[in-house]
Amino acid sequence: MTFENPSENIRFPHLALELQEMNEADQNMRQRKETDGSWDATVDLKHTERLKEIIAEIGWPTISKVGEAGANNAWRLVQHADHDTDFQEQCLLLMKESSATEVEQKDVAYLEDRVRVSQGKEQLYGTQVTVVDGVRAPLPIEDEPNVDIRRAEVGMEPLNEYLQNT
Protein backbone atom coordinates (compact mmCIF):
# COMPACT_ATOMS: atom_id res chain seq x y z
CA MET A 1 0.00 0.00 0.00
CA THR A 2 1.19 3.49 -0.69
CA PHE A 3 -0.03 6.35 1.41
CA GLU A 4 -0.65 9.83 0.05
CA ASN A 5 2.26 10.93 2.24
CA PRO A 6 4.99 8.25 2.33
CA SER A 7 6.52 9.76 5.45
CA GLU A 8 3.17 9.53 7.22
CA ASN A 9 3.79 7.85 10.54
CA ILE A 10 0.71 5.83 11.41
CA ARG A 11 0.27 3.31 14.18
CA PHE A 12 -1.77 0.65 12.37
CA PRO A 13 -0.65 0.41 8.72
CA HIS A 14 -2.12 -3.10 8.39
CA LEU A 15 -5.55 -1.73 9.33
CA ALA A 16 -5.09 1.22 6.96
CA LEU A 17 -4.53 -1.30 4.16
CA GLU A 18 -7.57 -3.32 5.20
CA LEU A 19 -9.74 -0.18 5.30
CA GLN A 20 -8.52 0.74 1.82
CA GLU A 21 -9.43 -2.71 0.50
CA MET A 22 -12.87 -2.53 2.14
CA ASN A 23 -13.45 0.93 0.68
CA GLU A 24 -12.44 -0.26 -2.81
CA ALA A 25 -14.92 -3.15 -2.59
CA ASP A 26 -17.59 -0.72 -1.34
CA GLN A 27 -17.02 1.74 -4.17
CA ASN A 28 -16.81 -1.00 -6.81
CA MET A 29 -20.18 -2.37 -5.71
CA ARG A 30 -21.76 1.08 -5.86
CA GLN A 31 -20.30 1.71 -9.32
CA ARG A 32 -21.62 -1.65 -10.54
CA LYS A 33 -25.10 -0.66 -9.38
CA GLU A 34 -24.86 2.43 -11.59
CA THR A 35 -23.60 0.51 -14.63
CA ASP A 36 -25.42 -2.82 -14.53
CA GLY A 37 -27.88 -2.56 -11.64
CA SER A 38 -26.21 -5.28 -9.56
CA TRP A 39 -26.13 -4.89 -5.78
CA ASP A 40 -24.70 -7.08 -3.05
CA ALA A 41 -26.15 -6.05 0.32
CA THR A 42 -23.79 -8.43 2.10
CA VAL A 43 -20.86 -6.11 1.31
CA ASP A 44 -22.15 -3.39 3.65
CA LEU A 45 -23.07 -5.95 6.32
CA LYS A 46 -19.62 -7.57 6.21
CA HIS A 47 -17.82 -4.23 6.29
CA THR A 48 -19.89 -2.99 9.21
CA GLU A 49 -19.10 -6.08 11.26
CA ARG A 50 -15.39 -5.81 10.50
CA LEU A 51 -15.36 -2.11 11.29
CA LYS A 52 -16.97 -2.88 14.66
CA GLU A 53 -14.09 -5.25 15.36
CA ILE A 54 -11.52 -2.65 14.36
CA ILE A 55 -13.13 -0.03 16.60
CA ALA A 56 -13.24 -2.50 19.50
CA GLU A 57 -9.51 -3.06 18.96
CA ILE A 58 -8.19 0.50 18.41
CA GLY A 59 -11.08 2.91 18.97
CA TRP A 60 -12.13 5.23 16.17
CA PRO A 61 -9.64 4.94 13.24
CA THR A 62 -8.16 8.42 13.47
CA ILE A 63 -5.56 10.02 11.22
CA SER A 64 -2.65 9.15 13.53
CA LYS A 65 -3.84 5.54 13.74
CA VAL A 66 -4.57 4.77 10.07
CA GLY A 67 -3.60 7.89 8.09
CA GLU A 68 -5.82 10.42 6.34
CA ALA A 69 -6.97 7.98 3.68
CA GLY A 70 -7.63 5.26 6.25
CA ALA A 71 -9.66 7.59 8.45
CA ASN A 72 -11.66 8.72 5.41
CA ASN A 73 -12.22 5.11 4.37
CA ALA A 74 -13.54 4.24 7.84
CA TRP A 75 -15.93 7.20 7.72
CA ARG A 76 -17.20 6.21 4.25
CA LEU A 77 -17.89 2.65 5.42
CA VAL A 78 -19.87 3.98 8.37
CA GLN A 79 -21.77 6.35 6.06
CA HIS A 80 -22.90 3.27 4.15
CA ALA A 81 -23.97 1.34 7.27
CA ASP A 82 -27.56 2.57 7.06
CA HIS A 83 -28.71 -0.92 8.06
CA ASP A 84 -27.22 -0.25 11.55
CA THR A 85 -28.14 3.28 12.59
CA ASP A 86 -27.14 2.59 16.21
CA PHE A 87 -23.62 1.87 15.00
CA GLN A 88 -23.62 5.06 12.92
CA GLU A 89 -24.62 7.04 16.04
CA GLN A 90 -21.88 5.36 18.07
CA CYS A 91 -19.29 6.22 15.43
CA LEU A 92 -20.52 9.81 15.26
CA LEU A 93 -19.95 10.16 19.00
CA LEU A 94 -16.47 8.65 18.70
CA MET A 95 -15.61 11.02 15.87
CA LYS A 96 -16.90 14.03 17.83
CA GLU A 97 -14.82 12.98 20.84
CA SER A 98 -11.69 12.91 18.68
CA SER A 99 -9.48 15.94 18.23
CA ALA A 100 -10.22 18.09 15.17
CA THR A 101 -6.70 17.27 13.97
CA GLU A 102 -7.49 13.53 14.11
CA VAL A 103 -10.82 13.51 12.25
CA GLU A 104 -11.85 15.47 9.16
CA GLN A 105 -14.60 17.80 10.28
CA LYS A 106 -16.32 17.44 6.90
CA ASP A 107 -16.65 13.73 7.59
CA VAL A 108 -18.25 14.48 10.97
CA ALA A 109 -20.71 16.84 9.24
CA TYR A 110 -21.72 14.24 6.67
CA LEU A 111 -22.27 11.58 9.32
CA GLU A 112 -24.10 14.06 11.56
CA ASP A 113 -26.55 14.73 8.74
CA ARG A 114 -26.91 11.05 7.90
CA VAL A 115 -27.72 10.17 11.52
CA ARG A 116 -30.13 13.09 11.94
CA VAL A 117 -32.02 12.17 8.76
CA SER A 118 -32.29 8.54 9.88
CA GLN A 119 -33.75 9.80 13.16
CA GLY A 120 -36.35 11.87 11.30
CA LYS A 121 -34.65 15.14 12.21
CA GLU A 122 -33.61 18.03 10.00
CA GLN A 123 -29.98 17.98 8.92
CA LEU A 124 -27.45 20.70 9.78
CA TYR A 125 -25.16 20.81 6.72
CA GLY A 126 -27.34 19.86 3.76
CA THR A 127 -25.26 16.85 2.76
CA GLN A 128 -28.20 14.49 2.36
CA VAL A 129 -30.07 15.11 -0.87
CA THR A 130 -32.87 13.82 -3.03
CA VAL A 131 -33.65 14.33 -6.70
CA VAL A 132 -36.83 16.19 -7.60
CA ASP A 133 -37.68 16.46 -11.31
CA GLY A 134 -34.06 15.73 -12.18
CA VAL A 135 -32.70 18.41 -9.84
CA ARG A 136 -30.71 17.65 -6.67
CA ALA A 137 -32.30 19.18 -3.57
CA PRO A 138 -31.29 18.87 0.08
CA LEU A 139 -33.52 17.07 2.52
CA PRO A 140 -34.93 19.46 5.17
CA ILE A 141 -32.29 21.60 6.89
CA GLU A 142 -32.48 23.04 10.39
CA ASP A 143 -31.90 26.81 10.41
CA GLU A 144 -31.37 26.79 6.63
CA PRO A 145 -30.47 30.51 6.38
CA ASN A 146 -27.25 29.74 8.30
CA VAL A 147 -26.33 26.47 6.58
CA ASP A 148 -23.46 28.01 4.62
CA ILE A 149 -21.94 29.39 7.83
CA ARG A 150 -21.97 25.91 9.36
CA ARG A 151 -20.61 24.41 6.16
CA ALA A 152 -17.74 26.93 6.06
CA GLU A 153 -16.86 26.15 9.68
CA VAL A 154 -16.10 22.55 8.70
CA GLY A 155 -14.38 23.37 5.40
CA MET A 156 -17.25 22.71 3.02
CA GLU A 157 -18.25 24.72 -0.03
CA PRO A 158 -21.55 26.68 -0.02
CA LEU A 159 -24.64 24.51 -0.38
CA ASN A 160 -25.51 25.73 -3.89
CA GLU A 161 -22.04 24.80 -5.17
CA TYR A 162 -22.31 21.38 -3.52
CA LEU A 163 -25.67 20.71 -5.14
CA GLN A 164 -24.34 21.70 -8.57
CA ASN A 165 -21.11 19.70 -8.32
CA THR A 166 -22.32 16.38 -6.94
pLDDT in tens, 11-32: 999 999 999 999 999 999 999 9
Give tens-digit pLDDT for 77-114: 999 999 999 999 999 999 999 999 999 999 999 999 99
| 155 and 90 share one domain | no
| 18 and 57 share one domain | yes
Neighbouring residues of 15: CB distance < 8 A, sequence distance ≥ 6: 54, 58, 61, 65, 66, 70
Which residues span the domain enclosing 159?
129-165
| 86 and 133 share one domain | no
Q: Which pTM value belongs to this model?
A: 0.91
**Domain for residue 50, yes or no?**
yes
| 29 and 95 share one domain | yes
| 159 and 92 share one domain | no
**Domains of the chain: total:** 2
| 93 and 27 share one domain | yes
| 58 and 96 share one domain | yes
